[in-house]
């Protein structure tokens, strides 16, 4: 199958304005992500989709391809759908522009998943959630899956809830999370926002209005589940640390030094 990788990038961000152009070890964040994604072997074409001329100029300066898109999109997936309408391809991979530590093999794994299994409409990633504070952090999205690796639900809340254990935030919540490690393997999974879509489904997705769950949680992938469609969740091979705020830059720079 022919697969296109797309990095949606917007300049405006409530927590980190201009984030795609923030310097990470001397290179713009969008360039770091582009370099990692370019190493994926299953992508036939890679581009940045943006509505901002500053981002477009930066991408062209390092030799990347840019597609200018509408500024009216409510989500990165809606921006991706605009690209899908313009380009012929079987699969589209939504590569988050704030993941400079992404593993190219994870991109290949998502593409292979949809090539080999016709049942899921889209595929995404998750990795074990190990830190108590992350379990309680609404900025860290959690996912629960069925026995076949299909997503049941995504939430900003700590799911699944452990019955009989004290919950809540702060020390009590951390103690509840840590005490669960004494029993069976901890079931918490952290969602990693890398997605692969079949083209037909992607265009269908963009035609739907956001549902109540998507609106409440602020998670666009819930639009798929609310419509009864299937998301396959693969375990991430890489270790991901997204850049959500300026404070994340230093941690990512340290991680890049350790991996070099």
Q: For the chain, what are the domain ranges?
A: 3-126+190-259
Band the pLDDT of 182: cuts 50, 70, 90: very low
What CA–CA distance (Å, rounded) separates 48 from 215? Answer: 26
Band the pLDDT of 73: cuts 50, 70, 90: confident
Phi, psi (degrees; rounded to nearest 5) at 169: -90, 175
Among residues 221, 243, 244, which one has the least CA distance to residue 231?
221
* Contact assessment for residue 96 and residue 5, using Cβ atoms and an 8 Å cutoff: no
The torsion angle over the Cα atoms of residues 9, 14, 18 and 20, rounded to 10 degrees, is: -40
Per-chain mean pLDDT for the chain: 90
Q: Which fold has domain 3-126+190-259?
A: Spore Coat Polysaccharide Biosynthesis Protein SpsA; Chain A (3.90.550)
- Top-ranked range on mean pLDDT: pick from 73-77, 177-181, 229-233, 236-240: 229-233
The answer to whether residue 181 scores a pLDDT higher than 50 is no
The answer to whether residue 210 scores a pLDDT higher than 70 is yes
pLDDT tens by residue, 132-176 = 888 889 989 999 999 999 999 999 999 998 776 655 555 545 555
Write down the pLDDT at residue 183.
Answer: 41
Backbone torsion region of residue 62, taken as left when φ is above 0, otherwise alpha when ψ lies between -120 and 50, otherwise beta: alpha
| Bridge partners, 50 (sequence order) | 9, 68
pLDDT tens by residue, 193-204 = 999 999 999 999
Per the listing, tokens 């918490």 go with 188
Percent of the chain with pLDDT over 70: 90
Question: In 21-55, which positions are buried (b, 16+ CB within 10 angstroms) versus exposed (e)?
Answer: bbebeebbbbbbbbebbeebebbeebbbbbbbeeb
Write down the pLDDT at residue 178.
Answer: 55
């Amino acid at each position: 199958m022919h697969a296109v990788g797309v990095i949606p990038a917007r300049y405006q961000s409530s927590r980190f304005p201009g984030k795609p152009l923030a310097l990470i070890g001397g290179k713009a964040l969008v360039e770091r992500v582009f370099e990692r994604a370019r190493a994926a072997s299953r992508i036939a074409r890679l581009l940045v989709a943006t509505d901002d001329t500053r981002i477009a100029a930066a991408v062209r300066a390092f030799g990347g391809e840019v597609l200018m898109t509408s500024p009216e999109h409510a989500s990165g997936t809606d921006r991706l759908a605009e690209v899908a309408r313009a380009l012929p391809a079987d699969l589209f991979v939504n590569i988050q522009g704030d993941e400079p530590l992404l593993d190219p093999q994870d991109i290949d794994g998502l593409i292979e998943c949809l090539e080999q299994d016709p049942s899921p409409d889209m595929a995404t990633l998750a990795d074990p959630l190990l830190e108590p504070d992350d379990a309680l952090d609404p900025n860290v999205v959690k996912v629960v899956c069925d026995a076949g690796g299909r997503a049941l639900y995504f939430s900003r809340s700590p799911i699944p809830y452990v019955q009989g254990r004290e919950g809540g935030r702060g020390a009590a919540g951390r103690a509840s999370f840590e005490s669960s490690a004494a029993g069976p393997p901890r079931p918490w999974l952290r969602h990693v926002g890398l997605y692969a879509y079949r083209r037909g489904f992607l265009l269908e997705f963009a035609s739907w209005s956001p549902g109540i769950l998507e609106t409440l949680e602020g998670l666009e992938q819930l639009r798929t589940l609310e419509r009864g469609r299937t998301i396959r969740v693969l375990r991430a091979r890489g270790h991901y640390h997204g850049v959500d705020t300026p404070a994340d830059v230093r941690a990512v720079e340290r991680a890049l030094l350790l991996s070099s």
